[in-house]
Amino acid sequence: MKLRFPLTALAFLLAAQFPVTGFAAGGKKLEVFSWWTSGGEAAALDALFQAYRKADPGVEIINATVAGGGGSAARPVLQARLAGGNPPDTWQSHPGWELLGQYVAANYCEPITDIYQSEGWDKVVPKGLIDLMTKDGQTYAVLVGVHRGNVLWYNKKVLQKNGINVGDKVTFDEFFAAAEKLKSAGVTPLAVGDSGIWASSQLFENTLLGTVGPQGWTALFNGKMAWDDPKVKQAAETYGKMLGYQNSDHSALTWDQAVKAVMEGRCAFTSMGDWAYGEFAKAKLKDNEDFGWVAHPGTDAAFIIVADGFTLAKGAPHRDECVAWLKTCGSKDAQEAFNPLKGSIPTRTDADKSKFGPYHNWSMTAFGSAQLVPSVVHGEAAPAAFQQALNDAITTFVVDKNANNLTQALVQAAKESETAQ
Ligand code: BGC
């Protein structure tokens, strides 16, 4: 398996510019690396820091963030630091391939299996999630929350004004009928902010799942369905049709600016993981009043997991502080403070549901009943090289709208990842 991230001089430069929060009392420090910089993300991260400060006061927290949704800008910076022997104490990672293939295989992480035992996490975190972070019997990260990737968000008032009713699920036909209606009323139906291409890849990922279903999803990743299967082509065509309804300034916007376009009624829908919820919450908008949501068309029976974990660096400069940080991340209190702001749900099954509003309760119910599938766009389902190839193929597709080229690129990428493993 190859790592494609370039170790550029720019990456080193960015790595030197981390802002510092808090005060150094007694010289204790902790460096936390993440890409949580949007309004909702930063607020949620701050709630984690506050929980940590309660547990371990007087530690100076070095908040090492690198802006860019989905971590596409942060990961190259992190790679440069890890390869250069200058790791942060802990960094944000998705479980699955990203954690195990990029960081554990390269020997950058210390196992934290003993913390799972001492904190009793093995009893309250679903085994399926722990398995995604475990290799040869050792577990390498603690999750703070689980996002649902396949959510279609909408501006309630805009839809009401245009006589559009969204039920508890939508089909692609229903979505396109609504989009046509909105378009003829002069409203941009779909907000996309793909200045980071991953956001458009995510629209494709959600549409692919809505077309092949959760069984098809599993088949694609275990090699039982080919990437040029007619259903994948059909998904590409449906995705292409959706792009016909997107905002013309999509490539100039970030994902959260696209969410803002929905909040402000400039666009009606956006298909985005439920970190979008964090933006609505930060703007003090109300669940089911100002904004609504439904699973992305065709995906109501499935839940794309996009989970956020933190690691313990091998050779962490502040190991004790980092262990305390990880214990905070896995605690009930921290998860109940962080997730309402972030949009994700706690990984702990003993979290108090009454502390969460309508959106989170919807997501928790779906997590318990829908089929859980990993995300490619967020590094869980496939090696980094395949994730990158998908982003490249989507960059091309946005321009040429050629479903054959897209599926051929994916066939080729799947072949290359197999031989590279
Ligand atoms: C992360 C989320 C984050 C989103 C947008 C995803 O990869 O898992 O925590 O909010 O990217 O930046």
Which residue among 370, 385, 401 closes a domain? 370
Q: With a 6 A CB cut-off, is 227 part of the ligand 1 pocket?
A: no
Q: Please determine, for residue 257, whether its predicted confidence score (pLDDT) is greater than 80.
A: yes
pLDDT 10s digits, 55-86:
889 999 999 999 999 999 999 999 999 999 99
Residues in the chain: 421
Please tell me whether residues 116 and 171 are part of one structural domain: no
Q: With a 6 A CB cut-off, is 98 part of the ligand 1 pocket?
A: no
Encoded tokens for 400: 């040429």
Q: Is the residue at 23 inside a domain?
A: yes
Q: Please determine, for residue 128, whether its predicted confidence score (pLDDT) is greater than 80.
A: yes
Q: Which residues pair with 412 in a beta bridge?
A: none
pLDDT 10s digits, 200-229:
999 999 999 999 999 999 999 999 999 999
Q: Distances in Å between the alpha carbon of 282 and those of 38, 145, 190?
A: 10, 18, 22
Q: With a 6 A CB cut-off, is 147 part of the ligand 1 pocket?
A: yes
Q: With a 6 A CB cut-off, is 205 part of the ligand 1 pocket?
A: no
Residue 22's Cβ-count burial label (10 Å; 0-12, 13-18, 19+) is middle
Q: Is the residue at 386 inside a domain?
A: yes
- Average model confidence (pLDDT) across the chain: 93
Q: Which long-range contacts (CB under 8 A, 24 or more apart) does 336-340 make?
A: 337/47, 337/48, 337/50, 337/51, 338/44, 338/47, 338/48, 338/51, 338/144, 338/145, 339/44, 339/144, 339/145, 340/281
Minimum-distance ligand 1 atom for the alpha carbon of 379:
7
Q: Please determine, for residue 249, whether its predicted confidence score (pLDDT) is greater than 90.
A: yes
Q: Is the residue at 201 inside a domain?
A: yes
Q: Is the residue at 1 inside a domain?
A: no
Q: With a 6 A CB cut-off, is 338 part of the ligand 1 pocket?
A: no
Q: With a 6 A CB cut-off, is 49 part of the ligand 1 pocket?
A: no
d(CA 221, CA 201): 17
Please tell me whether residues 48 and 140 are part of one structural domain: yes
Q: What is the pLDDT of residue 4?
A: 27
**SS3 state of residue 211:** helix
Q: With a 6 A CB cut-off, is 308 part of the ligand 1 pocket?
A: yes
Minimum-distance ligand 1 atom for the alpha carbon of 377:
7
Q: What's the pTM?
A: 0.93
d(CA 300, CA 298): 6
Q: With a 6 A CB cut-off, is 70 part of the ligand 1 pocket?
A: yes
Minimum-distance ligand 1 atom for the alpha carbon of 40:
10
Q: Is the residue at 2 inside a domain?
A: no
Encoded tokens for 343: 């949009």
Domain with 115, as residue range(s), is: 7-148+306-370
Please tell me whether residues 412 and 321 are part of one structural domain: no
Please tell me whether residues 138 and 157 are part of one structural domain: no
Question: Kind and range of the H or E element at 306?
Answer: strand 302-311
Q: Please determine, for residue 25, whether its predicted confidence score (pLDDT) is greater than 90.
A: no
pLDDT 10s digits, 153-179:
999 999 999 999 999 999 999 999 999
Please tell me whether residues 247 and 391 are part of one structural domain: yes
Query: Within a 10 A sphere around the Cβ of 342, how many other Cβ atoms?
Result: 27
How confident is residue 13, by pLDDT bands cut at 50, 70 and 90?
very low
Please tell me whether residues 76 and 44 are part of one structural domain: yes
Mutate to test the pocket of ligand 1, among 32, 274, 306 (most ligand atoms within 8 A of CB): 306
* 36 Cα to the center of ligand 1, angstroms: 7
Q: With a 6 A CB cut-off, is 71 part of the ligand 1 pocket?
A: yes
Number of domains forming the structure of the chain: 2
Q: What is the pLDDT of residue 421?
A: 59
Q: Report the nearest-CA residue for atom 7 of ligand 1.
A: 70
* 162 Cα to the center of ligand 1, angstroms: 32
Please tell me whether residues 191 and 123 are part of one structural domain: no
Q: Is the residue at 180 inside a domain?
A: yes
Please tell me whether residues 326 and 402 are part of one structural domain: no
Q: Please determine, for residue 20, whether its predicted confidence score (pLDDT) is greater than 50.
A: no
Q: With a 6 A CB cut-off, is 35 part of the ligand 1 pocket?
A: yes
Please tell me whether residues 216 and 347 are part of one structural domain: no
Q: Report the nearest-CA residue for atom 1 of ligand 1.
A: 70
Q: What is the pLDDT of residue 79?
A: 98
Average of per-residue pLDDT across 240-257: 98
Q: What is the pLDDT of residue 27?
A: 84
* 55 Cα to the center of ligand 1, angstroms: 26
Q: What is the pLDDT of residue 26?
A: 55
DSSP letter, residue 29: E
Average of per-residue pLDDT across 131-155: 98
Q: CATH number, domain at 238?
A: 3.40.190.10
Please tell me whether residues 279 and 391 are part of one structural domain: yes
Please tell me whether residues 92 and 207 are part of one structural domain: no
Q: Is the residue at 135 inside a domain?
A: yes
* 147 Cα to the center of ligand 1, angstroms: 8
Q: Report the nearest-CA residue for atom 12 of ligand 1.
A: 69
Please tell me whether residues 273 and 311 are part of one structural domain: no
Q: What percent of the chain has pLDDT over 90?
A: 92
Which residue among 352, 370, 388 closes a domain? 370
Which residue among 328, 353, 370 closes a domain? 370
Of the candidate ranges 11-15, 123-127, 247-251, the one whose mean pLDDT is the lowest: 11-15
Q: Please determine, for residue 16, whether its predicted confidence score (pLDDT) is greater than 80.
A: no
Q: Is the residue at 217 inside a domain?
A: yes
The residue ranges of DSSP E strands in 359-421, in sequence order, are 371-374
DSSP per-residue codes, 135-157: ETTEE-EEEEEEEES-EEEEEHH
